Amino acid sequence: MMIEVENGVQLYVEDLRPVDGGNGQTLFFVAGWPVSHRIFDYQMQMLPYLGYRCITLDLRGFGKSDKPWHGYYYDRFAEDISFIMDVLNLENVVLVGFSMGGAICTRLITKYDTGARVEKLVLAGATTPFLVKKENQSTFGLPLAQIDHLLQQMQIDMPQAISDFGGTFYYQYISPEYKSWFQQMCLEGASHAILQSGVALRNEDVSSDLSQIQIPTGIFHGAHDQIAQFQGAVATQQAIPGSLLYRFEESGHGLLYEEKNRFQATLLDFIKNT
């Protein structure tokens, strides 16, 4: 379905509901940069069978959503998602944010939701508290020059830059067919959306948001993540009171696919037992 979040801007939302009404709990998945809702294909295949209503969306500029010139920063992304939650009248939500989507989810909770709708948070390979290393302030993060180079290459040869980026996404062997699928998914995004949200990803810092989160939070992170480094997950766990850190030993950034069975089992355990 398409939901209008502001005048002239509609976002694609996929809402899978168990035919028997399910267990009354909703999983809301938020993708990262520069992928679409399809990154959650394996979760959306399996979890509705277990009684969960599963919702995901394409952020503005990506996938099947409209691609306006404006609005590619965390506050606007979070506002879009909050509006969709209101339209769908959601409650008892487990919010699952992947990569940049995880950082957006932390902003959503601290700015637009105080626990009325979202009862638990899962950060999967999240770019929290920040992506870029802060000189003399942090022991983790990617060099600023590396991100700037990637953004510059995207202005020269977007398909090649996306291919290079995809090469750092996974730790395990990925078939050529999957690599091709991943690249095409990324290229569904508008070039201006990829670039502008890439700048936001480079510049944003959600450190202050993390310390305000008071709902049960699970941090799922690949031990070999070359994009959102594992040390960032450790810092995130230390910043969110009572949060739990789950280390995925056989994954890079793509833990949703690389360890999909363990991801699902861990997610279900976190939902049921925290």
Catalytic residue numbers read 99, 225, 253
What whole-number distance in Å separates Cα of residue 104 and Cα of residue 30? 8
Query: 32 and 63 in contact (C-beta within 8 Å)?
Result: no
Query: 114 and 209 in contact (C-beta within 8 Å)?
Result: no
Report the side by side order of strands in the sheet with 9-16. Answer: 2-6, 9-16, 53-57, 26-30, 93-98, 118-124, 217-222, 244-248
- CB within 8 Å of 265: residues ≥ 6 apart: none
Q: Are strands 2-6 and 9-16 parallel, antiparallel or unpaired?
A: antiparallel
- CB within 8 Å of 177: residues ≥ 6 apart: none
What whole-number distance in Å separates Cα of residue 76 and Cα of residue 89? 20
First vs last C-alpha separation in the chain: 32
What whole-number distance in Å separates Cα of residue 179 and Cα of residue 198? 21
H/E segment holding residue 244: strand 244-248
What whole-number distance in Å separates Cα of residue 187 and Cα of residue 181? 10
CA dihedral 184, 162, 123, 131 (to 10 degrees): -160
